[in-house]
């Protein structure tokens, strides 16, 4: 599946929540997201621009591979994801395959959905709140950027690691 999304930094959380609900979005998750990135010791995934992550959101655990990011105003990349039944066991499988943890992060997240469009409000005490808008098409992402009162000039195609670098988080 192709992931198509943008991020908007330094949002007014209350205003975004209000607009999402006015647009008919429904909250589907609120809680802590614990994510681990993995790579081989030679960093071959990073070198090819790919990414492997295990993420726990509440009781749900996801294993996700993301291909190389396209050069575009949108963050576009191939994404293959599966739900597993155990965070710790999934980590152990990665380690048995010779992968090592290259990054660990925890953040608070509110997830909303409106049809085929997903919205994530993320917060990490080291980073101001930001919004992620993901949809199956660029046009739909852009439509909701505008419906939420933003312009495409206020968006970026960054990964979470890019956001951390922007705020000089170590």
Q: What is the pLDDT of residue 69?
A: 82
Q: What is the pLDDT of residue 2?
A: 82
Over the stretch 109-118, which tens digit does the pLDDT of each residue have? 999 999 999 9
What would the CATH number be for the domain defined by 2-166?
2.40.320.10
HSE-CB of 97 using CA atoms within 13 angstroms: 13
Over the stretch 87-146, which tens digit does the pLDDT of each residue have? 999 999 999 999 999 999 999 999 999 999 999 999 988 999 999 999 999 999 999 999
Query: Are 102 and 46 contacting, i.e. CB atoms less than 8 angstroms apart?
Result: yes
Could you give the residue ranges of the DSSP H alpha helices within the chain?
A: 13-22, 44-47, 87-96, 138-147, 160-166
User: Using CB atoms within 10 A of its CB, is residue 160 exposed (0-12), middle (13-18) or buried (19+)?
Assistant: buried
- Measured between alpha carbons, how far is 133 from 112 in angstroms, rounded to an integer? 10
3-state class of 153 per DSSP? helix
3-state class of 49 per DSSP? coil
Over the stretch 30-73, which tens digit does the pLDDT of each residue have? 999 999 999 999 999 999 999 999 999 999 999 999 998 877 88
3-state class of 32 per DSSP? strand
Q: Is the pTM of this model over 0.75?
A: yes
Angle, CA 103 vertex, CA 113 and CA 81 arms, to 5°: 40
C-alpha closest to that of 127 among 96, 162, 151, 92 = 162
Q: Quick one: residue 114, left, alpha or beta (phi over 0 = left, psi -120 to 50 = alpha)? A: beta
C-alpha closest to that of 10 among 108, 141, 112, 150 = 150
Q: What are phi and psi of 44, to 5 degrees?
A: -65, -35
């Amino acid at each position: 599946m192709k992931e198509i999304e943008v991020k908007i930094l330094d949002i007014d959380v209350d205003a975004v929540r209000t607009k999402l609900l006015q647009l008919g979005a429904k909250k589907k998750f609120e809680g802590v997201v614990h994510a681990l990135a993995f790579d081989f010791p030679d960093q071959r995934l990073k070198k090819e621009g790919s990414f492997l992550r295990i993420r726990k959101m509440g009781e749900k655990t996801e294993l996700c591979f993301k291909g190389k990011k396209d050069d575009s105003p949108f963050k576009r990349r191939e994404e293959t994801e599966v739900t597993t039944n155990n965070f710790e066991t999934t980590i152990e499988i990665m380690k048995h395959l010779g992968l090592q943890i290259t990054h660990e992060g925890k953040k608070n997240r509110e997830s909303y959905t409106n049809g085929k469009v997903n919205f994530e409000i993320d917060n990490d005490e080291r980073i101001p709140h930001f919004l992620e808008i993901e949809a199956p098409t660029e046009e739909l992402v852009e439509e909701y950027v505008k419906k939420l009162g933003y312009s495409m000039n206020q968006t970026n195609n960054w990964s979470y690691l890019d956001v951390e670098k922007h705020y000089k988080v170590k």
